[in-house]
């Protein structure tokens, strides 16, 4: 006996679909709540923004500097966004641009000594904020969550774009 094309999925299938949606919405909500806290604290304590912090974090991870295109890729934003942030940070003396001798159209961006000092201060506090925000979970729960998120990430990485 065949199922008509207009038949609704079984309750089990619908429950699984709803469960997947609930997981996605819960992940999104938690991400937004943590991000809102971090944005507020960066603004209040350092008169900074999350995009500025993220750009400086990438440069801190790459002391040899990064090209603008690499920054765009790592931050997952447009080149225009990176240019605007970089211009402002350069005006403040927190980053500097170095011409690329192999490509006159390109340059490398790196933190200045002052930029590194400011970022180090922000990064220390940022880490403590994140620790506090996730204090509602014990060690075992955080390890379990990491394990599950690693599995999800691995699965998503295999999917075509």
Domains annotated for the chain, with CATH where assigned, are 38-154 (1.10.10.10)
- Residues 132 and 119: their CA atoms lie apart, in Å, by 20
- Asked if residue 11 has pLDDT above 70, the reply is no
pTM higher than 0.75, yes or no?
A: yes
Tell me the per-residue pLDDT of 109-135, one tens digit each, with 9 for 90 and over.
999 999 999 999 999 999 999 999 999
pLDDT in tens, 53-72: 999 999 999 999 999 999 99
pLDDT at residue number 105: 80
pLDDT value of residue 2:
54
CA separation for the pair 62, 133 (Å, rounded) = 27
Q: What percent of the chain has pLDDT over 90?
A: 78
What average pLDDT does the structure give for the chain? 91
Q: Residue-wise over 93-105: b if at least 16 C-beta within 10 A, else e?
A: ebbbeeeeeeeee
């Amino acid at each position: 006996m065949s199922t008509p094309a207009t038949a609704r999925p079984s309750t089990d299938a619908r429950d699984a679909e709803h469960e997947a949606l609930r997981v996605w919405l819960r992940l999104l909500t938690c991400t937004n709540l943590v991000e809102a806290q971090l944005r507020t604290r960066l603004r209040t304590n350092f008169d900074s923004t999350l995009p500025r912090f993220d750009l400086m974090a990438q440069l801190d991870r790459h002391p040899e500097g990064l090209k603008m295109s690499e920054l765009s890729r790592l931050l997952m934003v447009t080149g225009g966004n990176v240019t605007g942030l970089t211009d402002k940070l350069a005006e403040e003396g927190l980053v500097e641009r170095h011409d690329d001798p192999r490509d006159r159209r390109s340059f490398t961006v790196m933190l200045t000594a002052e930029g590194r000092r400011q970022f180090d201060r922000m990064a220390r506090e940022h880490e403590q904020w994140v620790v506090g925000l996730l204090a509602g979970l014990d060690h075992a729960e955080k390890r379990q969550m990491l394990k599950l998120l690693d599995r999800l990430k691995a699965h998503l990485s295999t999917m075509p774009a």
